[in-house]
């Protein structure tokens, strides 16, 4: 049994290669049935800010796993920052007995720092590493990917910069342009109902946005951009082995209220500042791109 979280398909491709049956974390969380028993249970998810995404953390905290072999594979694009050790700590905090945690370098989908065209040209040896990971798991290997002091230092620095951010700043990361045709794909790939189509146009709904960029990468019109500079606003990414239909199936949520109201409690006139080019969310943004005033 393999649980996955994905927005551009890297983690789904890895999960499909490693094993079956597959279950999407947003869908399982929505079902509310969170007690699982199997010979092998695994999590495949991206690294966000050196850690697993908030929704995956929520899943680990709420679910109960009964298995003699629990593994995690974390896909990342540039620097994992000790993700395996941080995931190991989270497992311990959640009372999960883990057997194997590894990291897998793939295309980096963080648009403020990376040009998707350049990323797709890089040979990151994904299939060779993935085959090794799949073989490890089939052999029920016990192992945690090593973490260096510089990984730990990078994460500490990231946390220090994050602490200086105004609360809720990242809730205003995305914006919709006039190219929007109201097709609703962004709404269907969003795991938290944080973008909706109303009167033929998509509207971001701040409050619970995961800043995952699923909507941005999957918009067929490239009508969703960022409120901070992008490396290449004309390039978007989806893993070559994964279809849009698979991303939709993984993430689509129905909103029982049908409401487009923002869950953001901010009063008019007190809207938190949006992110700036120097706001840390992705830890390794090139320093040269930040304005002089940035910490
Ligand atoms: C919000 C966010 C934060 C990210 N943080 C990191 C990071 O700290 N280190 C890294 O190497 N990649 C980071 N990435 C890149 C993704 O981990 C990577 O592209 C991943 O394989 C995407 O998986 P997916 O295609 O299954 O969504 C980040 C991406 C996003 C959207
Ligand atoms: S996917 Fe793009 S074009 Fe379609 S509704 Fe969303 S923003 Fe508009
Ligand atoms: S609205 Fe936010 S949570 Fe939803 S897909 Fe876009 S970035 Fe992710």
CA–centroid distance, residue 131 to ligand 3 (Å): 31
**Residue 286, pLDDT score:** 31
**Residue 261, pLDDT score:** 33
Q: Which residues pair with 23 in a beta bridge?
A: 3
> What distance in Å separates the CA atoms of residue 118 and residue 235, rounded to the nearest whole number?
9
What pLDDT digit, counting tens, does each position of 40-94 carry? Answer: 999 999 999 999 999 999 999 999 999 999 999 999 999 999 999 999 999 999 9
Atom 8, ligand 2: residue with shortest CA distance: 180
Atom 5, ligand 3: residue with shortest CA distance: 190
Atom 19, ligand 1: residue with shortest CA distance: 108
What pLDDT digit, counting tens, does each position of 174-183 carry? Answer: 999 999 999 9
Q: Indicate whether residue 11 lines ligand 1 (CB < 6 A).
A: yes
CA–centroid distance, residue 240 to ligand 3 (Å): 21
> What distance in Å separates the CA atoms of residue 53 and residue 75, rounded to the nearest whole number?
11
- pTM, to two decimals: 0.89
Starting from the CA of residue 219, give the closest ligand.
Answer: 2
Domains of the chain listed by start with CATH number = 2-159 (3.40.50.360)
With cut-offs at 50, 70 and 90, classify the pLDDT of residue 24. Answer: very high
Mean pLDDT value across the chain: 88
What pLDDT digit, counting tens, does each position of 170-215 carry? Answer: 899 999 999 999 999 999 999 999 999 999 999 999 999 999 999 9
What pLDDT digit, counting tens, does each position of 126-162 carry? Answer: 999 999 999 999 999 999 999 999 999 999 999 999 9
With cut-offs at 50, 70 and 90, classify the pLDDT of residue 259. Answer: very low
CA–centroid distance, residue 14 to ligand 2 (Å): 27
What pLDDT digit, counting tens, does each position of 210-234 carry? Answer: 999 999 999 999 999 999 999 999 9
Residue 246 has pLDDT above 60, yes or no: yes
Residue among 46, 192, 222, 223 to mutate when testing ligand 3 (max atoms within 8 A of CB): 192
What pLDDT digit, counting tens, does each position of 99-125 carry? Answer: 999 999 999 999 999 999 999 999 999
CA–centroid distance, residue 42 to ligand 2 (Å): 33
Q: Over the chain, what HEC string results?
A: CEEECCCCCHHHHHHHHHCCCEEEHHHHHHHCCCEEECCCEEEEEECECCECCHHHHHHHHHCEEECCCEEEEEEECCCCCCHHHHHHHHHHHHCCCCCEEEEEECCCCCCCCCCHHHHHHCCCCHHHHHHHHHHHHHCCCCEECCCCHHHHHHHHHHHHHHHCCCCCHHHHCEEECCCCCCCCHHHHHCCCCCEEEECCEEEECCCCCCCCCHHHHHCCCCCEEECCCCCCCCCCCCCCCCCHHHHHHHHCCCCCCCCCCCCCCCCCCCCCCCCCCCCCCCCCCCHHHCCCCCC
Residue 277 has pLDDT above 90, yes or no: no
Under a CB-based contact definition with an 8 Å cutoff, are residues 269 and 40 in contact? Answer: no
CA–centroid distance, residue 257 to ligand 1 (Å): 31
Starting from the CA of residue 209, give the closest ligand.
Answer: 3
With cut-offs at 50, 70 and 90, classify the pLDDT of residue 20. Answer: confident
Cα 38 vs. chain centroid, distance in angstroms?
25
């Amino acid at each position: 049994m393999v649980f996955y979280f994905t927005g551009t398909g890297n983690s789904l491709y890895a999960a499909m290669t490693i094993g079956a049956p597959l279950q999407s974390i947003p869908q399982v969380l929505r079902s509310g049935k969170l007690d699982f028993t199997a010979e092998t249970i695994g999590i495949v998810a991206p690294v966000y800010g050196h850690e697993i995404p908030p929704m995956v953390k929520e899943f680990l905290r709420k679910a109960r796993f009964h298995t003699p072999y629990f593994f995690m594979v974390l896909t990342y694009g540039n620097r994992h920052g000790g993700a395996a050790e941080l995931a190991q700590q989270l497992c311990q905090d959640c009372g999960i007995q883990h057997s194997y945690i590894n990291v897998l370098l793939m295309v980096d989908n963080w648009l403020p720092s990376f040009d998707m065209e350049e990323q797709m040209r890089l040979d990151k040896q994904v299939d060779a590493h993935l085959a090794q990971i799949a073989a490890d798991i089939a052999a029920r290997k016990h192992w945690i990917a090593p973490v260096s002091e510089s990984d730990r230092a990078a994460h500490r620095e990231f946390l220090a910069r994050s602490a200086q951010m105004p609360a809720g700043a990242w809730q205003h990361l995305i914006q919709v342009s006039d190219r929007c045709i109201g097709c609703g794909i962004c709404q269907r790939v969003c795991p938290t109902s944080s973008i909706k189509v109303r009167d033929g146009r998509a509207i971001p709904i701040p409050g619970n946005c995961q800043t995952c960029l699923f909507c941005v990468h999957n918009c067929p019109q490239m009508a969703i951009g960022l409120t901070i500079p992008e490396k290449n606003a004309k390039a978007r990414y989806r893993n070559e082995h994964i279809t849009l239909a698979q991303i939709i199936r993984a993430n689509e949520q129905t909103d029982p209220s049908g409401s487009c109201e923002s869950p953001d409690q901010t009063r008019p006139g007190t809207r938190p500042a949006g992110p700036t080019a120097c706001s840390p969310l992705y830890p390794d943004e090139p320093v040269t791109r930040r304005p002089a005033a940035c910490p």
